[in-house]
Structure 1
Amino acid sequence: MFDLLGLSAQHESVYRAMLQRPDLNIAGLSAHLGVEPGEVHAALDVLADLALIRLDPEGDHARPVRPQAGLTALLTKVEAEVAVRQKHVEATKAAIAAIAAAHDDYHQGAEGRVLEGIDSVRDRLAELAHTARAECLSFNTGGAQSPDTLEAEAPLDQQALQRGVQIRNVYQDSFRNDPGTLAHARWLAGLGGQSRTTPTLPMRLVIVDRGIALVPIDPTNPRRGALELHSHGIVAGLIALFEQVWQTATPFDGQVTADAQGLTRQERELLRLLAAGHTDESAARKLAISLRSVQRMMTSLTERLGAASRFQAGVQAASHGWV
């Protein structure tokens, strides 16, 4: 309990025993606590250094200092040290902010800047996680996130949530099949974060404090980097897009159910993609699922429509109002 004051559990037990039984000498304390006399000697040396006891120079007794005086004096000293350290922390934080501001002024224009490569994007996201004050919104596209990515994000998310930052993430429905992403979403929910899913997303997106947005340079290749946007009009439009998707997305703790026509959102989106001219391969990429999953889903839809071919299934899907 008092490790902050420099006391171990054993030091504390010796001090408490001396307060309760001031009549005991070293041998008595050793027997009372069930420890070796040498351990009592070592504890007394520490307690004397911390001015919690006064040793008898002519005997083997020591007198404990009242806790209201001894422990309070130690705590006052620690509080003073913490205050000095906090001043140093604030000064260091101000210096970092000044360097960061000078760097940003040099490397970016008024409307934003280019973050070249995936490492630059990750570094910038870490910075934003530390500086976010109110809100962080994101679209997470593609396949399931790697365990390393989730592990790296967890402490940043936790620190932000503990500061009162609201976090809302939208994933694709395919993420529901990934145990790691599900576990991360549940962990995040336990801290106050929110996650939802939808069949497809237009692109990767991060919006911080409604003033900064990150979008990919090339939506088909996120490793190329991102555009960091500051323009109020552009960011406002991206916020509106996020809110529209968020309203129709399903919470992670909810079930993805079929609609009145027996279609899941993913099935309906697959039909829409194929009707728009996408191949099975490109539809799979859009839905972030495997080609085999697309083909299996399409086979099921064809059978439910009673169609003899995929062309006939498309015609009947249109006539049923499925697309």
Structure 2
Amino acid sequence: MLQVLGLDARTELVFRLVLEEPGLRLHEIVTRLGQDEQQVRAALDRLAELCLLDSHHDTDSEHAGPVFHAVDPAAGLPYFLSHREAELVKEQRQLEAAREIVSTLAVGGAQEKGRRFDVIRRLEGVDAVRERLVELAELARVECLSVLPGAARTPDTLATSRRLGRQTLERGVRVRSLYQASFRNDPNTLRYVNWLGELGAQSRTLPTLPITMVVVDNEVAVVPLDPDDGRAGALELRSAGAVAVARSLFESLWTSATPVGPEPPRDTNGLTAQEDELLALQAKGHTDATAARLLGISLRTVRRMNAALATRMNARSRFQAGAEAARRGWI
């Protein structure tokens, strides 16, 4: 029944048990199901993330540990489902954009079979990609657009970027860069972005970014061979259609991004874009670990943000925090 929400059979067993027998403790659930304690803990965490489980400490009992109660699915799931629907719409749009890129590459490959190297160039490995990006930056005449997921940049990368950034801007080239909001956690990267802004570059942030990408002079786009493995290399694309799609994706992200300032701005609810995205990810059922990876921050930072948000909402449990965030219109 609950597999559509990403629950495995063990997690569903735990849910059904606490639904039928409210007020059980961890050791009682483990005993009744005959399951490993760590696996039961993982199932309880997953149910709490989906707002299907609540817990409290019974101070009148001699037994330590929280007491677990299942939440009526009809009460706990509506806000989760509404955000899941919105996420599916977003994923569908991204899929359509990716399909358009693939279609463009296929058509370009068929039309330019005799001159394939001129349209698509494969860059093998990190070093080849880095060297080619340096060359493209040095050759740029009009504009450099960059999408840069992740947080900290290495000292060597920052040193090279400072030299190229100064030279590029001094030539009158327009530089616009999209960073993941988590870059603020690294002082060296933060200083670099602010320094670049003083020279005239424009920078904005989003809590999450879909892919690493560079577009130069509206003539060439560089995208990774594998978005999940930057070491694999990249593709240098020169077909007009592929570059137009890459440019369109950048502009779409740029429009919704937040300009870089001394401190991350907050919305009318007092939330930063990163906090807002964390709440959205959790409403969609992501674990703390997955949310940390998508946001480009540490698991400890995610848990610290959760604790701070719960304190602001006077919430004593994860379910209460989710319900209160929904009540306030934060998710």
Q: Which residue of 1 aligns with 2:192?
A: 184
Q: Which residue of 2 aligns with 1:259?
A: 267
Task: Find the structure with the greater CA-based Rg.
Answer: 1
The answer to whether the 8 A contact 2:178-2:203 is kept is yes
Q: Distance in 1 between matches of 2:236 and 2:266?
A: 38
Note if 1:305 corresponds to 2:319: no
Q: Which residue of 1 aligns with 2:77?
A: none
Bigger relative contact order (CA 8 A; separation at least 6): 2
Greater alpha carbon shift after TM alignment, 236-245 vs 112-121: 236-245
Q: Which residue of 2 aligns with 1:233?
A: 241
**Per-residue CA shift, 1:127-172, capped at 9, x if unaligned?**
1012111100001111210111010122222222222211111112
State which of 106, 121, 125 in structure 2 corresponds to 1:117.
Answer: 125
**Per-residue CA shift, 1:156-195, capped at 9, x if unaligned?**
2222222221111111222123221122123322332222
Q: Aligned with 2:145: secondary structure? A: strand
Q: Which residue of 2 aligns with 1:100?
A: none
AA aligned to 2:221 is A
Q: Distance in 1 between matches of 2:195 and 2:308?
A: 34
AA aligned to 2:199 is L
Unmatched 5+ stretches in structure 1 = 1-104
TM-score (norm 2): 0.61
Q: Aligned with 1:195: secondary structure? A: strand
Q: Aligned with 2:175: secondary structure? A: strand
Question: Cα 1:135–1:282, aligned 2, differ >3 Å: closer, same or farther?
Answer: same
The answer to whether the 8 A contact 2:151-2:184 is kept is no
Q: Distance in 2 between matches of 1:219 and 1:229?
A: 16
AA aligned to 2:207 is P
| CA-atom RMSD in angstroms | 2.2
Offset at 1:226?
A: 1.2
Offset at 1:220?
A: 1.8
Note if 1:318 corresponds to 2:326: yes
AA aligned to 2:226 is D
AA aligned to 1:284 is A
Q: Which residue of 2 aligns with 1:221?
A: 229
The answer to whether the 8 A contact 2:180-2:295 is kept is yes
Question: Cα 1:158–1:107, aligned 2, differ >3 Å: closer, same or farther?
Answer: farther
Q: Which residue of 2 aligns with 1:248?
A: 256
- 1:269-288 residue pairs with structure 2 within 5 A? 269-288=277-296
Corresponding residue pairs, total: 219
The answer to whether the 8 A contact 1:185-1:195 is kept is yes
AA aligned to 1:126 is V
TM-score (norm 1): 0.63
Q: Distance in 1 between matches of 2:317 and 2:309?
A: 11
- 1:138-149 residue pairs with structure 2 within 5 A? 138-149=146-157
Greater alpha carbon shift after TM alignment, 159-168 vs 263-272: 159-168
Q: Distance in 2 between matches of 1:227 and 1:273?
A: 30
Q: Distance in 2 between matches of 1:149 and 1:257?
A: 27
Offset at 1:307?
A: 3.1
Q: Distance in 2 between matches of 1:148 and 1:268?
A: 33
Offset at 1:255?
A: 3.1
Question: Cα 1:236–1:254, aligned 2, differ >3 Å: closer, same or farther?
Answer: farther
Q: Which residue of 2 aligns with 1:83?
A: none
